[in-house]
Amino acid sequence: MSQYLFFTLSILTIVSALYVVFSRNPMHSVLSLIFCFFTIAGHYVLLNAQFLAIVHIIVYAGAIMVLFLFTVMLLNLNKETEPHKTNWIKIAAVIAAGMLFLVLIASLKSTELGPFHLPYRSTIGFVQNIGIKLFTDYLLPFEVSSILFMSAMIGAVMLAKKEK
Amino acid sequence: MVNVTDQILRDSLLITPGMLIPLFPLIGFLINGLFGKYLSKSITGWIASISVLLSFICTFYIFINLPSTGALHIDLFNWISYSTLNISFGFLIDPLTLVMLLVITGVGFLIHLYSIGYMHGDEGFTRFFTHLNLFIFFMMLLVMGSNYLVMFIGWEGVGLCSYLLIGFWFKNDAYNDAAKKAFIMNRIGDLGFLLGMFFMLFNFGSLDYAVVAQKALLLPVGSSILVSITLLLFVGATGKSAQIPLYTWLPDAMAGPTPVSALIHAATMVTAGIYMIVRSNVIYALAPFTLEIVAIVGVATCLFAAIIGLMQNDIKKVLAYSTVSQLGLMFAALGLGAFSSGMFHLVTHAFFKALLFLGSGSVIHALHGEQDIRNMGGLRKYIKVTYITFFIGAIAISGIPPFAGFFSKDEILAKAFEHSKVIWAILSISSMMTAFYMFRLVYLTFFNDFRGTEETKKHIHESSSLMTIPLIVLAGLSIIGGFIGLPSVFGFTHQFQMYLSSVTDASKELMKENIELNHSMEYILIATAVIAAIASILYARFKYFTKKEQPSEDLALVGFEKAVYNKFYVDEMYDTVIVKPLKVLSDLFLVLVDKLIIDLLVNAVAWVVGLSGRMLRLVQTGNTGFYVFAMVFGIIVLFVIRLLI
Amino acid sequence: MKEVATNYVPQNWYLLLSTFLFCVGIMGVLFRRNAIIIMMCIELMLNSVNLLLVAFSAYSGNSDGQVFVFFIMVVAAAEVAVGLALLVSIYRNVASTDINVLNKLKW
């Protein structure tokens, strides 16, 4: 059962990801990426990480991708305005990515994975467990990340506002 | 038998003044050096003088309370400590040190006083006293150190001060050159000293005087270790004490102010070599070969410098060569194993040579800087005190009884006679020459008519009492100074020798040749020496007073006289043999090695770096896509490498 | 047994999936000239890593990995905010989001 779900989700993920890259219209790319993120959230649920799945949808689909959408519309890029690269660069890009994939697979082959638990019975992905972890062991990084957010927000506002 | 507890009690009472001795000049130096510019001139001078006077008082206190058999050890702190090597920073005050300290502080104080008058009106007045105090401090370290390393600090320090004070009037290039010459010459000697210390450390594992002497006694007499150590130390001594072949800096050092010449280049610093050898008398006694060398060098220097002194026309140069000659005499005494006699002559020489220098300073002061004796004459009428004291100094150095020089010189001559008739003959001739050129100086300076310009003649004046009082005191010391060492032949006990016996006894036992001269022989020797001295004085009087001869002009000299007048061309010879080849060699290296090889290498490296920079910067196309490609390619390469390895 | 077999998703599959997603992201970065798409591809790569982290975390029974995913999301969000702001201001100046226009920074 899980395997079928995994395959379905994986195929959807890969197809949408490829469409992000190959679509000529930026708007389509954005929509396709949103779909891709939903399928990844599905993977999270499959891995019994429900909380993370929800957060993922809120942050990525809800916040980040909305930001992308706004930008695309703001800059009026929904046409096929992008001048495309020459063919040999495209071929080179595909070959380079393929090579990287091969090399990574090859290096993964040589690694050995340790003993594992079946994820379906674990409770680690529950809010309670992650919350405890986050507010005990990772309290300092958590606080620091809030400062990072703050500075990113101020920076974004400063950069995007019109110069007088 | 000395009560042990009494001794400990006594020592503990003496430690404080012992530590105060070098502290006073140091404080004086610091006050004058740091705050000198806020103080008025006369105050700085008095601070410097009084700090030395306080040291003298402390020294005298210890001198009275410390028996001649005792020695005061003051360990300040452990200086260098590394595995088996332990060198402490400490002082040793024994009779030998006390004799040196009395000379340094006593004569030093008088010269400080004199300087207040002499340097009056000089713009570097404060600087002068600062350096003078520093010199006294280092000189004390030199004589008070309890091991060779502390002595070496002082040794280097006095060299530095000597450099600073010779080049005191640094606006004159020739004076600066003289200072540099002194420093470099000393440096050659110091290298010998340093190597000697390394040898000592290597072979004995210690630099402490007592330990070194103890360990040296375990070695056979004349062993190569001892000979090399003593020879290396002696090289240091030739540099500091201006012996052949490193003597040429001392006459040039007369460029400094006259009190400096008196203090550093006559009474104290140049005697450091003699002090050092007496201090290490045990190892020297164990190396007869070195003693032979010391004797030969001493005798040769004594004669050589005396000959040059005969023909000099600069009042200070004559005294400088006389100093070199007298130092040679002291070294000759040391070489003959007569350590206490050498020290005795050192003390008396400090009195009368300081007196002579200060007297010459007074003459120069009176004539506003004139130093050439051809432009003097007849001064006895104008500057009476200077004349009388200078005359006393001249008699003392010539060896006329009962003045100080007679006793010490006679003692050395007697020792020389015991040892070898040839040495005795040469030393006698040298002392005849000494008597001759000293009285040549006296007659040319103070007798007959004044030969300078009328303008100068009008301004001739006796120096202030600040300058004449030291002269008078030193003259007194030159008269009575010899009585501390009355010879046994007249039925006295030799006080000075007795006093130093705790230091020199060890070596005396080693040098077994005790050919006691019989008394009649000794009387004959004394009579010969005195008659010879008087004869030379009379000859000088006949030549320069009765016949009113004057030294000929520089160009009129021929043959041997010309060679003597030009100091046997030793400076020129050093220049040709050492300096010029060195210059040629360094020019050669400059062109061949420096410019050709090193510059080429450096430039080549720079060129390669520049070229690769020019090539590599083309990689920065500004095209982001290209950068991303490069990055991905880099990642691929990294993974591949990781896979393959 | 069969049910167990189909229920069981081997760890390797997640590895393969996320590696592939990562490579797609790389390819996108190399392929496109539009800066917005490139940023989206970067998001894709970050997500592939996130997926892998969650998978490892789930299989090893340790929630640390999931906490890291949080932090990666934080960084990604901050990055997107700043990056898009930069893009907007660049667009104002050169009226293009083509990265090949931005080639002034060279020797």
DSSP string, B511-557: -----PPPHHHHHHHHHHHHHHHHHHHHHHHIIIIIS---PPPGGG-
Taking an 8 Å cut-off on Cβ atoms, the answer to whether A103 and B640 are in contact is: yes
pLDDT at A121: 65
pLDDT at C1: 37
pLDDT at A164: 60
The domains found in chain C, sorted by start residue, are: 2-94 (1.10.287.3510)
At residue C107, does pLDDT exceed 70? no
Residues spanned by the domain of A134: 121-164
Length of chain B: 645
| Residues in chain C closer than 8 A to A145 (CB atoms) | 71, 74-75
Does some domain include residue A89? no
A71 and A21 together in one domain = yes
Residue with tokens 């919350």: A131
Residue of B615, B617, B624, B627 best to disrupt the C interface, most CBs of C under 10 A: B624
Cα(B270)–Cα(B139) distance, rounded to whole angstroms? Answer: 11
Are residues B283 and B239 in contact, defined by beta-carbon separation less than 8 angstroms?
A: no
Mind telling me how many Å the CA of C103 is from chain A's nearest CA? Answer: 16
At residue A151, does pLDDT exceed 80? yes
At residue A82, does pLDDT exceed 80? no
Strand B72-82 relative to strand B85-93: parallel, antiparallel, unpaired? antiparallel
A77 and A127 together in one domain = no
Chains contacting chain C through 3 or more C-beta pairs under 8 A: A, B
Q: CA B136, B140, B145 angle in degrees (round to 5)? A: 155
* pTM of the shown model: 0.70
Q: CA A19, A25, A26 angle in degrees (round to 5)? A: 85
Does some domain include residue A56? yes
CA distances from B422 to B270, B418, B516, B524, B552 (A): 27, 11, 18, 17, 33
A8 touches chain C (CB under 8 A): no
DSSP string, B492-504: ---HHHHHHHHHH
ipTM above 0.90, yes or no: no
Q: Write the pLDDT tens digit of every residue in B272-293.
A: 999 999 999 889 988 889 999 9
| pLDDT category of residue C47 using cuts at 50, 70 and 90 | very high
Last residue of a domain, one of A58, A81, A104: A81
Residue of B631, B639, B640 best to disrupt the A interface, most CBs of A under 10 A: B639
| Residues in chain C closer than 8 A to B617 (CB atoms) | 107
Q: Which residues of chain B have pLDDT under 70?
A: 1-4, 491, 512-517, 552-556
Structural domains of chain A, count: 2
Cα(B221)–Cα(B512) distance, rounded to whole angstroms? Answer: 12
Q: Write the pLDDT tens digit of every residue in C66-94.
A: 899 989 999 999 999 999 998 888 888 88
Helix (H, G, I), strand (E, B) or coil at B79: strand
pLDDT at B353: 93
A72 and A133 together in one domain = no
| Residues in chain B closer than 8 A to A82 (CB atoms) | none
C43 touches chain A (CB under 8 A): yes
Among left, alpha and beta (phi > 0; psi -120 to 50; other), residue B87 is: beta
A68 and A2 together in one domain = yes
A60 and A129 together in one domain = no
B640 touches chain A (CB under 8 A): yes
| Residues in chain A closer than 8 A to B642 (CB atoms) | 107
The 8-class DSSP code of residue A57 comes to I
| pLDDT category of residue A161 using cuts at 50, 70 and 90 | confident
Indicate the average pLDDT of chain C: 85
Residue ranges of the alpha helices (H) in C8-63?
A: 11-31, 35-60
Find the radius of gyration of the CA atoms of chain B: 30
Q: CA A92, C32, A21 angle in degrees (round to 5)? A: 95
Does some domain include residue A21? yes
Taking an 8 Å cut-off on Cβ atoms, the answer to whether B636 and A96 are in contact is: yes
pLDDT at C3: 44
Q: Write the pLDDT tens digit of every residue in B594-617.
A: 888 999 999 999 999 999 999 988
At residue C9, does pLDDT exceed 90? no
- Going by C-beta distance under 8 Å and a sequence separation of 6 or more, which residues neighbour residue B572? B566
Give the residues across from B73 on adjacent strands. Answer: B92
Which of C40, C60, C67 has its CB closest to that of A133?
C67
Locate the domains of chain B by residue range: 4-565, 577-644
Mind telling me how many Å the CA of A103 is from chain B's nearest CA? Answer: 7
What CATH code is carried by the domain that includes residue A25? 1.20.120.1200
Mind telling me how many Å the CA of A48 is from chain B's nearest CA? Answer: 32
At residue C4, does pLDDT exceed 60? no
- Which has more confidence, B520 or A155? A155
